[in-house]
């Protein structure tokens, strides 16, 4: 396993590979802010609650290595499953209300697996800083909570969503979309952006229902959830005055591909 102990500051960028510009923005920031950067590429089986999703998850190891090298990443860590899980990880994390909503509700066990792998990587690399994309808004909150629970010394650095020209949030899963689905999926970011303007004059429930309604007429889409939440507690708000930090988080299937995105209403 890696020990990067001699570097003055170590940055960790955990990924599941199939790298795109979103990941590279994390790597570039890590390179700018640390003496040594480690990127991990590991499709973590314990965070998949759906076997088909795990099987279909894109894998592009050669291209990933090349992109990481070009971006100035010092160490690429690409373990196999036996290396990360020589025996079953039986740890069960409890993130309370943070973990029960949204992704936690629709993907039971997902965040337990994320906490397992991110904690293992943190123990192995002992980073000063670790970089995560805000597209996975709830994941960032869960990882921050895990760092507190385990008393890890790493600073968690959330990085802004990177979008395609069309507005579609960059995701490794985008490469699984057909051309038509990719065009259709733009509706997600368009709808979220339009809902921000609407929020100036409409109550939370109307904005919520309008967003959900945008996906109703096309059978290609199936919404898991659209939740308008306090950005810290991740609990739903019912009034725009409930919090100074309000975020809308969506998970929607486009065909078989599950996409997530979010938008800040306040804060």
Residue 118 in the binding site for ligand PAF (CB under 6 A): yes
Residue 228 in the binding site for ligand PAF (CB under 6 A): no
Is 168 within 8 Å of 174 (Cβ atoms)?
yes
**Measured from the CB atom, is 101 or 156 closer to ligand PAF?**
156
What secondary structure does DSSP assign to 196-220, as a single string? Answer: HHHHTTS-HHHHHHHHHHTTSS-TT
- Residue count, binding to ligand PAF (CB under 6 A): 10
Q: Beta-carbon neighbour count of residue 183 at 10 Å?
A: 12
Tokens linked to 100: 């029960």
Tokens linked to 143: 């990882």
Binding mask of the shown chain, residues 236 to 255, with x at each position contacting ligand PAF by CB under 6 A:
--------------------
Residue 15 in the binding site for ligand PAF (CB under 6 A): yes
Is 126 within 8 Å of 60 (Cβ atoms)?
no
Residue 34 in the binding site for ligand PAF (CB under 6 A): no
Q: Within positions 35 to 74, which residues make up the interface with ligand PAF, using CB under 6 A?
A: 44, 47
Rounded CA-CA distance 106/110 in Å is 9
Rounded CA-CA distance 28/72 in Å is 8
> Active-site residue numbers?
23
Task: Please identify which residue in 4, 11, 12, 14 interacts with ligand PAF, judged by CB under 6 A.
Answer: 14
Binding mask of the shown chain, residues 138 to 157, with x at each position contacting ligand PAF by CB under 6 A:
-x------------------
- Chain residues binding ligand PAF by CB under 6 A are 14-16, 44, 47, 114, 117-118, 136, 139
């Amino acid at each position: 396993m890696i020990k990067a102990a001699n570097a003055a500051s170590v940055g960790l960028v955990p990924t599941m590979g199939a790298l795109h510009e979103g990941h590279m923005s994390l790597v570039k920031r890590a390179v700018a802010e640390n003496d040594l950067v480690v990127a991990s590429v590991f499709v973590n089986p314990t965070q998949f609650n759906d076997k088909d999703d795990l099987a279909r998850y894109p894998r592009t190891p050669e291209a990933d290595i090349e992109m990481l090298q070009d971006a100035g990443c010092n160490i690429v860590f690409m373990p196999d499953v036996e290396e990360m899980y020589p025996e079953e990880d039986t740890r069960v994390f409890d993130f309370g209300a943070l973990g029960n909503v949204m992704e936690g509700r629709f993907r039971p066990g997902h965040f337990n697996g994320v906490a397992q792998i991110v904690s293992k990587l943190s123990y192995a690399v002992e980073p000063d800083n670790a970089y995560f994309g805000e597209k996975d808004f709830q994941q960032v909150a869960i990882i921050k909570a895990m760092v507190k629970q385990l008393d890890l010394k790493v600073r968690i650095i959330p990085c802004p969503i990177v979008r395609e020209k069309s507005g579609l949030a960059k995701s490794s899963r985008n490469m699984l979309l057909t051309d038509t689905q990719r065009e259709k999926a733009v509706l997600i970011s368009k709808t979220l952006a339009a809902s921000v303007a609407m929020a100036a004059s409409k109550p939370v429930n109307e904005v919520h229902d309008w967003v959900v309604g945008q996906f109703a007429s096309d059978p290609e889409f199936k919404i898991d959830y659209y939740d308008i939440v306090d950005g810290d507690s991740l609990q739903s708000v019912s009034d725009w005055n409930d919090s100074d930090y309000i975020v809308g988080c969506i998970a929607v299937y486009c065909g078989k591909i599950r996409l997530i995105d979010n938008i800040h209403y306040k804060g």
